[in-house]
Amino acid sequence: MKKTIFAVAVAMTFGTAALAEPLKIGIAAEPYPPFASPDAAGNWVGWEVDFINAVCAAGEMECVITPVAWEGIIPSLTGGQIDAIMASMSITEERMKTIDFSDKYYNTPTMIVTAKGSGLTPDAAGMAGKIIGVQVSTIHEAYAQAHFPDAAEIKTYQTTDEGFQDLAAGRVDASQADSIAIDAFMSSDAGKACCEVIGAVADDPAILGAGVGVGLRKGEDELKAKFNAAIAKVIADGTYETISKPYFASSIYGG
Amino acid sequence: MLSFAVTAGAASALDLLAWSPPGWGATLVAGLWNTILIALGAYALGLLIGVAGAFGKLYGGPILKDLLAVYTTLVRAVPELVLLLLIYFAARDALNNLLNIYGYGPIEFSGVAAGIVVLGVVQGAYSTEVLRGAILSVPAGQIEAARAMGMSPMLLARRVTLPLMTSAAVPGLANLWLTVTKDTALLAVIGFIELTKATSLAAGTTKSFLTFYLAAGILYLLLSLVSGVIFGRIERWARRGQRNAGGGGI
């Protein structure tokens, strides 16, 4: 038994990445409905998972979905544990310093959700003196830091879902997140009972970015071209619409 | 009415914990299995380091003794979580840069490997001290008597030091095993799906926090109870022939 464990450990430590291996697509190891969340069988399901499968099929790439902790997802990419990030990661200038992105594959507005009847507004004046919950290392954290200087506290969470749980429990006054993630929360029992959406924040393209793209290591232009072609194909041949239909009433591709 | 609500709650909790989907039982047990594998690997690595470290600290040269003192002090001073993040992110980058310089491709440092290495190195520091104490507990008179009988150092270790120190070491080592089974939960931070991460995924997806965290607590408890039985037997075996042989286990 010990020998087996050691052999496995050694193999996992020193197994070099052969070229023929399938592409490891990193997703965030957290429930992020409706994009990616685990089901009871341990499989990952959701729109983004369907999209990953569609893009890999269109690009004739062999892919395996690899869940990674969100805070460590960029180091995992640059460190070679994964080959691409498809975890609803927005294309921002800050991230472009470290990694490269494909063309965007969806773009949705950023909203704020609060307790029912809070009377708050999604701007600097409305958020003054309030505790705002955001997921750590996201555009939402960067935006809240930059645009809500008078907030009592910007509270960061490892996952978006935990931020919503604390909003439902009354530990934060407001949660800022992607509109689709907020929609998913608002259609849950907890969301219906506690909260209401107070609207979208004012756009700031420098921080909020230009939509969500595939994160890739710098200098891998061939792979980037492959992803861009595959994304374009999925959109052009109607697959994008087909996989979106069960999840969204209208297109999330955005302008 | 209340009892009805409780019954309904219990039924849905059992549904959630059912073995096959839509129950999450199999996912939790798979997480428990990962937890056990990492704990076993780290514990084995820790014991190896511990035996070498204890003998080194007691019988090594001055430089080896100093190096081992630095190791046990540093490792026991820094939180396991910090060490884990250091090895998983920082050490891996450094290692891959080094390999790059010498023209090798990057190696993959999986969560399992990082977990076993970090927890093993931490366990090694603690078991070094446990084993050192156990070796020192062997009465000097027994060793002198063995030497007077003309035993070689190897025979002395095999017939006198090891059998006598084992009984003193087992309770401390059992403690370390229990610690490592729970330290595996730290791997949840790097996204490795062991029992704690599997539980938080299940709880986050279904919003049934109480059910799943209670279930995880029970699984950890079961692991401890089974370990207690095994270590109890080991201790009884190690103490065979001694007076007051009771009290083994956890």
For the segment B125-148, what is each residue's pLDDT rounded down to a tens digit?
999 999 999 999 999 999 999 999
A-B C-beta contacts closer than 8 Å? 105
Instruction: Answer whether residue B45 shows pLDDT above 50.
Output: yes
Give the mean pLDDT of A31-57. 92
Asked if A15's CB is within 8 angstroms of B107's CB, the reply is yes
Amino acid B21: pLDDT: 72
Q: What is the pLDDT of residues A104-123, one digit of tens each?
A: 999 999 999 999 999 999 99
Q: What is the pLDDT of residues B148-195, one digit of tens each?
A: 999 998 898 889 988 889 989 999 999 999 999 999 999 888 878 899
Angstrom CA distances, B176 to A190, B42, B121, stand at: 41, 11, 13
Asked if A40's CB is within 8 angstroms of B21's CB, the reply is yes
* Cα nearest neighbour of B47 on chain A: A2
d(CA B247, CA A131): 53
Asked if A14's CB is within 8 angstroms of B207's CB, the reply is no
d(CA B88, CA B192): 11
- Closest residue to A5, CB basis, from B40, B190, B202: B40
Amino acid A8: pLDDT: 46
| Chain B CB within 8 Å of residue A228 CB | no
ipTM comes to 0.70
Contacts of A124 (CB under 8 A, 6+ apart): A147, A148, A149, A150
% of chain A surpassing 70 pLDDT:
92
Weakest-pLDDT range from A247-251, B105-109, B205-209: B105-109
* Cα nearest neighbour of B191 on chain A: A69
Query: Helix (H, G, I), strand (E, B), or coil: what is residue A101?
Result: strand
Amino acid A18: pLDDT: 42
Contacts of B41 in chain A (CB under 8 A): 5-6, 9
| Chain A CB within 8 Å of residue B26 CB | yes
| Chain B CB within 8 Å of residue A18 CB | no
Q: Which residue has the higher pLDDT, B63 or B240?
A: B63
Weakest-pLDDT range from B119-123, B188-192, B227-231: B188-192
- Shortest Cα–Cα distance, A13 to chain B (Å): 5
d(CA A182, CA A142): 18
Instruction: Answer whether residue B109 shows pLDDT above 70.
Output: no
Asked if B93's CB is within 8 angstroms of A39's CB, the reply is no
